[in-house]
Structure 1
Amino acid sequence: MFCLALLLAAAPALCVASEPSIAASFTSFWNVAQGQPFAQQVQQWDNRIEAPRRELYNSVVWEMQNDPRWQIRRQRWLQARFAAYPKLAASIPDEVRALQSTIATQSIRFRKLFPDASAHPPVEILLAPNFDAKSGTLSDGTPVLAFAADSLLLEQANLSIVVPHELFHLYHAQHAGISNDGVMPGVALTVPLFEEGLATYVSGQLSPGHTDGELLLQNDLGNIPASRLPDIARRFLEDAQHRAIDPEHPEVFKRWFNAAATPYQQGLPNRSGYWLGLQLIRYLRRTYTLAQIAAWSPTQADMQVMSALKRISRKQ
């Protein structure tokens, strides 16, 4: 596991990884897998990428415990990612180094904002075709934060925005019990709204000077005028009784938080829940400190979000 060391004046004690670096593992994999049939590529991937990190891939990347179709999805995702590697391969080691540097720099800023944050949070840099950055839990319940270097490279993601956003998700899981970015069994849709809005707000505090479109990683979200806030709050309240994980109505979560090629809602960009969540946190900050908001449990967050959304929705 990559252990995050603060860049202090005194030389930090670095953690020694028990497995090869992900950059070295990728180079080893691609040297033998490039140009080979897909079945052979998968075998080499399993041996060189996943085997040294089996628990992380099983629990966090593929979420085997929650997805009975994980093997089918894994095959599809890997096939698409292997097809992209010829253009990405040469740059992956540089992306890993850039991630390591940004994580170290942002961790210093993060602890100034949240002094009780761990100096060595559990952060992993890996390769994954199905996400760019993700908070998850290992089989023993330990929270972990994973960055997928290849996905971030493919997206040309701004690491100075992504890294503090995700560091907050990990901190929040450890200190307030809001895990998996708020998408938790049994909680209402208000919890991921709160969680993503708060992480976006924190990334703006730790990486200032960015537009809302940049912080939200989507320019059209940044173009939503503030005058639309009451109407969008009213729309969300119509869905707020649904669960974050709702097998009978998965479309409800998707229309507020998922990206897609076609719109989920008329007149609103996809992922509008992120925009609404950010505005919600700014509204709550008029009354509460950041430390108070970050300490709310899932139950408290649900109650505060519902109350704030109702007040916002009544504004003209």
Structure 2
Amino acid sequence: MKLQFLGTCAGIPSKMRNVSSLVIQMLQYENECWMVDCGEGTQHQLLHSSLTLSKINKIFITHLHGDHIYGLPGLLGSRSFQGAKNKLQVFGPKGIKEFIDTTLTISNTYIRYPLEIFEIDHGPFLKTDFFTFEAFLLEHGIESYGYRITEKDNHGTLDANKLKQLGVSPGPLFKHLKAGKKVVLDNGREINGADYLGPSQKGKVIAVGGDTRRTENQNCFARDADILVHEATFLQKDEQLAYEHYHSTVGNVAELAKRSGVKALFLNHISSRYSHGVGELLEEGRSVFPNTFIPDDLQSYILKKNGDVVEV
């Protein structure tokens, strides 16, 4: 799993940080590249990365404030102008379809690839062969969601040496055995792939939150996540200000990660009042939850199979 942060600022861009956008690449799965939020200037940020618009096949919008959606019409149009043919799905709160349809119609922008727009509600909204997608309603004054994405558990490692002793060489049969299926060998013997697999590997969980102040739904949304990406607009000393503006503090989110069994926490949506640097925010977060990160724009991280997070 690779995370690339395209925009990490709150509200309006600063000289060092653009407004909200994140790309998640599931590197072990073909054609699984997702964007979460698309603030103004997102496609310009993409020019500084190795990503192309055609690679992105799902976009998740947390809420309809401008710093999370104003880059979307231009990105959709550019994806078409660049010749993308593969389907793109967009998910978001009620109103996202009207926003997209209206801006594309008024600007006379023609989309040449299949575009599907889904308005979501609280709860599971999509299941694929490998992932389950859930939306959790948060508290932000307008409809705002956190997205929880759960990978299907993976079969354990196939014992190739044991199979070679039976005369089974790497090839087409390995694929079926790896899937836990039964196969018939050339000598007529039937073997069960499940008998040659190690312990199953639990699927990864990533939770990406929209803007919110503290709410009960956060606990279910973040529970046991391998990675939690969450806004932290204010320092803890400004908790009252954060509450009044429907936002979270670093301390709020670090406590959430600690009690929820999160493995790694990424803080974004940083107020431009901290344009002098994020050292104080990072110190506050790590004092509660040591495995806390505050990415700069365009920073990328990989979650390795063993659960370690490394910057790339």
Q: Answer whether TM exceeds 0.5 for this pair.
A: no
More helix by share: 1
Larger-Rg structure: 2
More strand by share: 2
Give the TM-score of the pair, scaled to structure 1: 0.23
Give the TM-score of the pair, scaled to structure 2: 0.23
